[in-house]
Amino acid sequence: MPGQGVPHRARPTHEASLPVHVVLRRVEELPSLRTEAIHDALRDSVHETQLDGFRITQYAVRPDQVHLIVEGDDATTLAAGLKGFGVRAARRLNRIVGRSGTVWAERHHRRELESPHEVRDTLSYLSPHEVPTSERPPLAAPQTWLLREGWRHDALPDDFRIEGRAAGD
């Protein structure tokens, strides 16, 4: 039953200087999110959800989850941006598979990334789950220090890559 994985409690106050790792899990009735048509729909939803004060700076698609790294200028804008992405993506996915109804199995899970190490670990975790495409439009440029440069202060392997760039680029 949808909604059972993440308790419905008040979210903690969002600090604008911190990026947020968000996970949305699909319902079991949907096919893998990594099929080409579904991944394309998710990619398009990511790129259309850039709002004033809300940015999706990274994303990765796993078979049953979408991971986003986002920034929001305040808690209200963060919530609106995440809701906008969730609704936009759900409509597209339902259209592709010819169904209606719930797409996300539960409320999104989110965690603020508070240190260069947390950001680096999250980026490292997400990078193997990206689906490479030759036509990937640029994502929103990060504005928080941790995503712009702070994560680089935590040692990375020389071959670590994000969005086609080496870690030190």
pLDDT by residue (tens digit) across 6-27?
566 666 788 899 999 999 999 9
What mean pLDDT value characterizes the chain? Answer: 84
Question: Torsion over CA of 41, 44, 49 and 52, rounded to 10 degrees?
Answer: 180
Choose which CATH entry (3.40.50.300, 3.30.70.1290, 1.10.760.10, 3.40.640.10) describes domain 20-131+138-153. 3.30.70.1290
Rounded distance, CA 99 to CA 126, Å?
A: 29
What mean pLDDT comes out for the span 88-104? 96
Domain boundaries, the chain: 20-131+138-153
Q: Which of the four pLDDT bands, split at 50, 70 and 90, describes residue 39?
A: very high
What mean pLDDT comes out for the span 56-71? 94
Each residue's pLDDT tens digit, 113-141 = 999 999 989 988 888 766 555 455 568 89
DSSP secondary structure of 38-107: HHHHHHHHHHH--BTTEEEEEEEE-SSEEEEEEEESSHHHHHHHHHHHHHHHHHHHHHHHT--S--BSSS
What mean pLDDT comes out for the span 99-107? 93
Whether 69 and 19 have beta carbons less than 8 Å apart is answered as yes
Q: Which of the four pLDDT bands, split at 50, 70 and 90, describes residue 156?
A: low
Name which residue leads in pLDDT, 144 or 135.
144
Q: Per-residue pLDDT for 57 more than 50?
A: yes
How much is the pLDDT for 151?
87
Share of the chain above pLDDT 70, in %: 78
What mean pLDDT comes out for the span 54-73? 94
